[in-house]
Structure 1
Amino acid sequence: MILLQAQHVARHFGADVLFENIYLEVQEHARIGLVGRNGAGKSTLLKIIAGIEQPDEGGISKSKEVSIGYLAQHTGLDSQLTIWEEMLTVFEPVIQLEKKMRHIEESLGDPKLLNDQEAYAATLKQYDQLQHDFKEQNGYGYEAEIRSVLHGFRFYEEDHDKQIDQLSGGQKTRLALAKLLLQKKDLLILDEPTNHLDIETLDWLEGYLQTYSGALLIVSHDRYFLDKVINEVYELSRQKMTHFKGNYSKYLELKAEQLEREWKEFEKQQKEIAKLEDFVNRNLVRASTTKRAQSRRKQLEKMDRLDKPQGDEKSAHFSFETAKESGNVVLTVEDAAIGYDQTILSEPINLDIRKTDAIALVGPNGIGKSTLLKSLLDMLPLIKGNKSFGANVDPGYYDQEQAKLHSSKSVLSELWDEHPTTPEKDIRSILGSFLFSGEDVEKSVNALSGGEKARLALAKLSMNQHNFLLLDEPTNHLDIDSKEVLEHALIDFEGTLLFVSHDRYFINRIANKVVELSPEGSTLYLGDYDYYVEKKAELEELKRLSEEQTNQAETVINEEKTTQPAANRSINKETQKLMRQLTRRIEAIEEELATIEEDIYSLETTLAEPEIYEDHVRVQELNKKIAALSTVQETLMEEWEEKNIALEDLNESE
């Protein structure tokens, strides 16, 4: 069933056309991603579809029964209520039903009603209907549903009584989305819903939207999110709309195939045109062939000529160069604690960053990722611990707030004032590579959009030629195309990277290590984001199994102590079985540890060989393998200790 259609929709700004002749169809249970460059008109189109703005041409058709929920960018929930009170307003009809039920329940004990059989029967019938409606509208589960959604957005029981007008902008945005999800509209229109969400919340939101009963129309620059949630794409590009089936990755494949097909058709027609024109030119003046030439000329005139295929719009193209090479050791951090005013957010933090590492810092919002970067650069003090940079390390910093940009300056002077000896034409050339050209370079920094400020900050960073880049959310405000350009530049960067990002696609492309921050400090994972998720799940499952076995052993011991006299206590069959399991696992761990020790010794021996030691790439590979084995070794040692403690407890219970 079709919920909504946009037909021949256009938006004009004077003589300029933002888009025209737009067609978009939303089916029941649709999962649609709307993609396109910043400035293509995606947000404007969403407002037209949501009925907030009117199109200059065309229209939106939908049935009156279709309910639409719309979340704009940077929308925050504005309310004087507490979080819990505001969420309850979504279920006001259900709450009123419950009040009616309670009122009838009280009236059923009224003697007058009991003596009037007809009225009593009518009241019971009404009560049965109210119960049915109450159950249908999730009357028995709406409070649990509110708690579940709030928990997904990281609002816990202790937060429910907080006043909404006292919350931060990011928290208000998350609450606005939470309330919208609870309303269960037939069609959800979401403009950048992943803003202000950390990775754990993004994972939860993806799972929730995958099972959402209504249709979804989403604008997002989060490619990982789009791949998980959508199954069709509408691309808004060059004022036109194109439809593709599949998630975001499939859309990229289909788009490339379409462009290749269009080029083949165009080149084929061009050859045919050249052939016909050549025949006309050679034969038009000859009496014997002039009729055939005239026929070919008419064929040319009637031909529906194909336009030259247009690839992507103009893209930024930049790189990060290094002025000098750093030593192998870039940065070490030992037992550090970070925070504000002696309030510790995370400790102990230990880092050993080597040349050409690309390390992603992840963790929940508020854990101190940005604080750590600032502490490493002495913008904030470490509360505890030590840090030291290696030889020839030249750190550069990208601030997600762009606080180092001067709002009163022009784009041109923002770069030129810091590099006054660089010729103006070179400054303009660099700005051009970041998509600032012509009159754009005379714009005031204060007048730039978020995406333009991000590109300007990256331009400043690229000119300084640092060999160690510390980047705080570098993909914020960038459209997908600009993100891809940044990714290519960082992949080709010959220096070292330490970056904070919630963009999981970006982390997967750039990182070779992930450091997770938590209140308990830092944990290193030797791989990209997908490896981090997989390894973390394995370690949590291992911990769960270990705790389960330990608890089981303790339960058996306690039961033995309370049910049997100390003098005559014997180990029952269940305890013997558990002891055998623990013994077998301990032996298996010892065998694994022996193998790992041999592998590490072998790799370290190889590493000491002169021909290997001089091969920088090979040394890196071997060091990565040794580090990975050491991590596994440490995990196994912890499990070995836990199993031995559990076994000792069982032996003592004999």
Structure 2
Amino acid sequence: MILLQVQKAGRHFGADTLFKNIDLDIQDHSRIALVGKNGAGKSTLLKMIIDEEAPDEGQIVRKKGLTVGYLAQNTGLESTKTIYAEMLSVFSELRQMEKRLHQLEDQIASQAENHETPAYQQLLKQYDQLLHDFKEQNGYGYEAEIRSVLHGFNFLPEDFERPIASLSGGQKTRLALAKLLLEKRDLLILDEPTNHLDIETLTWLEGYIQTYTGALLIVSHDRYFLDKIVNEVYEISRGKAHYYKGNYSDYIVEKEKRQELAWKNYEKQQVEIHKLEDFVNKNLVRASTTKRAQSKRKQLEKIDRLERPEGDEKSMHFRFKAAEESGNVVLKVNDAAIGYDDQIIAAPIDFEIRKRQVIALVGPNGVGKSTLLKSILHKQPFLKGSATFGTNVHPGYYDQEQHNLHDKKTVLAEIWDEHPTTPEKDIRSLLGSFLFSGDDVKKTIHSLSGGEKARLLLTKLSMQHDNFLVLDEPTNHLDIDSKEVLEQAIKDFDGTVLLVSHDRYFINKVATSVIEIAKTGSTVYLGDYDYYVAKKEEQAELALAKEKQTAPQTETKNVSSGKTSYAQSKERQKEERRLRRNVATLEQQVTDLDAKKEDLETQMALPENFNDLEKMATLQKELEETTTALEEAEIAWEESSLALEEFLTD
């Protein structure tokens, strides 16, 4: 069923067109990514869809009664309530039902002696119906669901009574997303939902959102997230929308195929056109060939000419080039402890980086990854241990907080002041390669967007020609095209890289090794992000198996600890994701089979089929098979839903 349609929508700013003739269909259970460069109009289109803005042309058609949830970029939840009270407010109607059930129970108990009266029987009937509705709406599991979602977003039980007003901006954003997930709207629209989420939380969110019963429309620069979640992609490019079936990686492959085919068809037609034009020009004036030339000219006029395929929109293009080579050992970190005010947050940290390696630091938010980079660069002291650079190592630093920029300077001055002997035309040419052209170079830095500041920092870094790049969240604020350019620059770099990033797709593309930072220290994994994940799962399974072998036959609980082991916690999350995926798969099967059954019944009612005994026999057999399959799928779905509910309430 169609939930929402964007029909020929357009947005204009005076004589300029942001986009036009945009068509987009959202159906039940859609999983759609909206992609395009920064400034292409993605957020504008989302605001039209949620009815915050009206299109200048075209229209947005919505199903009657459609409920929509929307998470804007960097939007936090504002409330005077505590965390848990705010989440409970989502289930206010359910809690009213619960209250009414208790009232009816009291009335039934007080009138038990009159159990044969019509009033008593009516009371029982009312109670049974209300209890059925309460169970259907997860009345016995909603508090477990709240705890599960809050835990997934890294809110611990001791946080539940914290006032929301006391939270950080990132925590409020996570809480806003948590509330939206609990509300279960028909259509959930997320604009950059992965901002402020660490890798562990992203992994949990992917598992949870795959079982979301409503439709999803997502704008995100997190390609790994899109690959896991979506099965349709709409790209906004050059003011137009293009539709692709599949996830993000499928979209990239299909886009390239379409571009190749478009060029092939265009060039083939151009050859044909030139041949016809040449014939007409040479033969139109000759008496003997005039008629043929006129015929060819008519043929030319009838050709539906293909437009010249448009190449990719303008992207950054740059490279990192080291001025001189370092020694083989670039960095050694020995028995280090990091933290603030004598409070250790991670230790012991030990690793070695060698020339031309690309090392990614990963770990949960707050474990000190950025602090470690600052300590390595002597911007902040280690609480213990040391970091030693190798021979001829020249580090260059990308600061995610963008402190290396001067707010009052112009873009041009920011670069030229550090390289005063470089001619202005060369500075402007370099800035042009980072998409600062024309009057853009006259902008003051405080007026730049996050993406523009990120590109300016990369400009500065590329001019320093260091041989050891230390990058703290370099993909923040960059659109997907810019990330891909940065990936290529790192892969082509003749030096060494140490980086912190939450972008798993980016890590997979560039990292030769992953170092995990935890409170208990550092662990080195000799592969990309997918290798790291596989090894972590393997370690968790081994730890769980070992725990089962050493555990006593009678289960005992460690009351003093009260904490589940890491392995058990990961195993539980894995089982929850499996159960949720199973529910979603079966629910989709039920939906598909129900639609197929309805279609068969429609076909059997058609006059042309009704009188065709052979066709009716085939349709009847198919209908019986579909009905049986539907009944089995419904039973399996109910059983899997119950299993998930029991798991969450356990």
Q: State the TM-score, normalized to the length of structure 2.
A: 0.84
Instruction: Name the counterpart of 2:157.
Output: 157
Question: Could you tell me how far apart the structure 1 residues matched to 2:113 and 2:192 are?
Answer: 57
Q: Per-residue deviation at 1:365?
A: 0.5
Residues 113 and 120, structure 1, Cα contact 8 Å, conserved in 2: no
Query: 1:111-161 CA deviation, whole Å, 9 max, x = no partner?
Result: 698489232222222111211111111110000000011111111111101
Instruction: Name the counterpart of 1:588.
Output: none
215 and 553 in structure 1: CA distance in 2 versus 1, 3 angstrom threshold: closer
1:259-274 mapped onto 2 (5 Å cutoff): 259-274=259-274
For residue 370 of structure 2, what is the amino acid of its counterpart? S
Give unmatched runs, 5+ long, in structure 2: 556-650
Number of aligned pairs? Answer: 556
Question: Could you tell me how far apart the structure 1 residues matched to 2:430 and 2:515 are?
Answer: 33
Query: 1:601-643 CA deviation, whole Å, 9 max, x = no partner?
Result: xxxxxxxxxxxxxxxxxxxxxxxxxxxxxxxxxxxxxxxxxxx
Partner of 2:190: helix, strand, or coil? strand
Partner of 2:551: helix, strand, or coil? helix
Q: Per-residue deviation at 1:294?
A: 2.3
Residues 330 and 390, structure 2, Cα contact 8 Å, conserved in 1: yes
Instruction: Name the counterpart of 1:83.
Output: 83
Question: Could you tell me how far apart the structure 2 residues matched to 1:322 and 1:303 are?
Answer: 54
Instruction: Name the counterpart of 1:236.
Output: 236
Question: Could you tell me how far apart the structure 1 residues matched to 2:173 and 2:375 are?
Answer: 28
For residue 285 of structure 1, what is the amino acid of its counterpart? V
Instruction: Name the counterpart of 1:542.
Output: 542
Question: Could you tell me how far apart the structure 1 residues matched to 2:508 and 2:265 are?
Answer: 36
1:167-206 mapped onto 2 (5 Å cutoff): 167-206=167-206
Q: Per-residue deviation at 1:297?
A: 2.2
1:475-554 mapped onto 2 (5 Å cutoff): 475-552=475-552
Question: Could you tell me how far apart the structure 1 residues matched to 2:551 and 2:70 are?
Answer: 49
Instruction: Name the counterpart of 2:255.
Output: 255
Residues 113 and 119, structure 1, Cα contact 8 Å, conserved in 2: no
Question: Could you tell me how far apart the structure 2 residues matched to 1:386 and 1:186 are?
Answer: 54
Question: Could you tell me how far apart the structure 1 residues matched to 2:368 and 2:234 are?
Answer: 38
Which has the higher Rg, Structure 1 or Structure 2?
1
Question: Could you tell me how far apart the structure 1 residues matched to 2:111 and 2:187 are?
Answer: 50
Residues 338 and 347, structure 2, Cα contact 8 Å, conserved in 1: yes
For residue 276 of structure 2, what is the amino acid of its counterpart? L
Between stretches 297-306 and 51-60, larger displacement belongs to 297-306
Question: Could you tell me how far apart the structure 1 residues matched to 2:115 and 2:396 are?
Answer: 86
Query: 1:51-83 CA deviation, whole Å, 9 max, x = no partner?
Result: 111111111112222211111111100001000
Residues 80 and 163, structure 1, Cα contact 8 Å, conserved in 2: yes
Instruction: Name the counterpart of 2:6.
Output: 6
Q: Per-residue deviation at 1:552?
A: 4.7
For residue 371 of structure 2, what is the amino acid of its counterpart? T
Instruction: Name the counterpart of 1:617.
Output: none
Instruction: Name the counterpart of 2:74.
Output: 74
Q: Per-residue deviation at 1:540?
A: 1.9
Partner of 2:350: helix, strand, or coil? strand
Question: Could you tell me how far apart the structure 1 residues matched to 2:147 and 2:180 are?
Answer: 14
Question: Could you tell me how far apart the structure 2 residues matched to 1:114 and 1:425 are?
Answer: 97
Query: 1:464-505 CA deviation, whole Å, 9 max, x = no partner?
Result: 011111100000111111000000000011111110001111
Instruction: Name the counterpart of 1:120.
Output: 120
Instruction: Name the counterpart of 1:323.
Output: 323
Residues 415 and 427, structure 1, Cα contact 8 Å, conserved in 2: yes
For residue 98 of structure 2, what is the amino acid of its counterpart? E
For residue 424 of structure 2, what is the amino acid of its counterpart? E
Question: Could you tell me how far apart the structure 2 residues matched to 1:91 and 1:154 are?
Answer: 21
Question: Could you tell me how far apart the structure 2 residues matched to 1:488 and 1:547 are?
Answer: 44
Question: Could you tell me how far apart the structure 1 residues matched to 2:306 and 2:457 are?
Answer: 41
Instruction: Name the counterpart of 1:646.
Output: none
Instruction: Name the counterpart of 1:369.
Output: 369
Q: Per-residue deviation at 1:553?
A: 9.1
For residue 220 of structure 1, what is the amino acid of its counterpart? S
Residues 70 and 190, structure 1, Cα contact 8 Å, conserved in 2: yes
Query: 1:262-318 CA deviation, whole Å, 9 max, x = no partner?
Result: 111100111011111111111111112122222222332332211111121011110
Question: Could you tell me how far apart the structure 1 residues matched to 2:531 and 2:248 are?
Answer: 21
Question: Could you tell me how far apart the structure 2 residues matched to 1:199 and 1:483 are?
Answer: 18
Residues 335 and 347, structure 2, Cα contact 8 Å, conserved in 1: yes
Question: Could you tell me how far apart the structure 2 residues matched to 1:338 and 1:554 are?
Answer: 41
Partner of 2:96: helix, strand, or coil? helix
Question: Could you tell me how far apart the structure 1 residues matched to 2:223 and 2:311 are?
Answer: 20
Instruction: Name the counterpart of 1:279.
Output: 279
Instruction: Name the counterpart of 1:35.
Output: 35
Residues 359 and 512, structure 1, Cα contact 8 Å, conserved in 2: yes
Partner of 1:364: helix, strand, or coil? coil
For residue 179 of structure 1, what is the amino acid of its counterpart? K
Between stretches 317-326 and 532-541, larger displacement belongs to 532-541
Residues 358 and 512, structure 2, Cα contact 8 Å, conserved in 1: yes
Instruction: Name the counterpart of 2:333.
Output: 333
112 and 544 in structure 1: CA distance in 2 versus 1, 3 angstrom threshold: closer
Question: Could you tell me how far apart the structure 1 residues matched to 2:99 and 2:553 are?
Answer: 50
For residue 175 of structure 2, what is the amino acid of its counterpart? L
Q: Per-residue deviation at 1:329?
A: 1.2
Answer yes or no: is 1:428 the counterpart of 2:428: yes
Residues 107 and 113, structure 1, Cα contact 8 Å, conserved in 2: no
Instruction: Name the counterpart of 1:409.
Output: 409
Instruction: Name the counterpart of 1:45.
Output: 45
Between stretches 75-84 and 284-293, larger displacement belongs to 284-293
What is the percentage of aligned positions where both structures have the same residue?
A: 67
Question: Could you tell me how far apart the structure 2 residues matched to 1:130 and 1:554 are?
Answer: 41
1:246-645 mapped onto 2 (5 Å cutoff): 246-552=246-552
Question: Could you tell me how far apart the structure 1 residues matched to 2:113 and 2:47 are?
Answer: 54
For residue 342 of structure 1, what is the amino acid of its counterpart? D
Partner of 1:11: helix, strand, or coil? strand
Q: Per-residue deviation at 1:246?
A: 0.7
Question: Could you tell me how far apart the structure 1 residues matched to 2:115 and 2:346 are?
Answer: 70
Root-mean-square deviation (CA, aligned residues, Å) is 1.6
Instruction: Name the counterpart of 2:583.
Output: none
Q: Per-residue deviation at 1:322?
A: 0.6
Q: Per-residue deviation at 1:401?
A: 1.5
Question: Could you tell me how far apart the structure 1 residues matched to 2:20 and 2:282 are?
Answer: 44
Question: Could you tell me how far apart the structure 2 residues matched to 1:321 and 1:421 are?
Answer: 19
Instruction: Name the counterpart of 2:148.
Output: 148
Question: Could you tell me how far apart the structure 2 residues matched to 1:131 and 1:152 are?
Answer: 30
For residue 525 of structure 1, what is the amino acid of its counterpart? Y
Q: State the TM-score, normalized to the length of structure 1.
A: 0.83
For residue 400 of structure 1, what is the amino acid of its counterpart? Q
Between stretches 151-160 and 110-119, larger displacement belongs to 110-119
Residues 108 and 114, structure 1, Cα contact 8 Å, conserved in 2: no
Give unmatched runs, 5+ long, in structure 1: 556-654
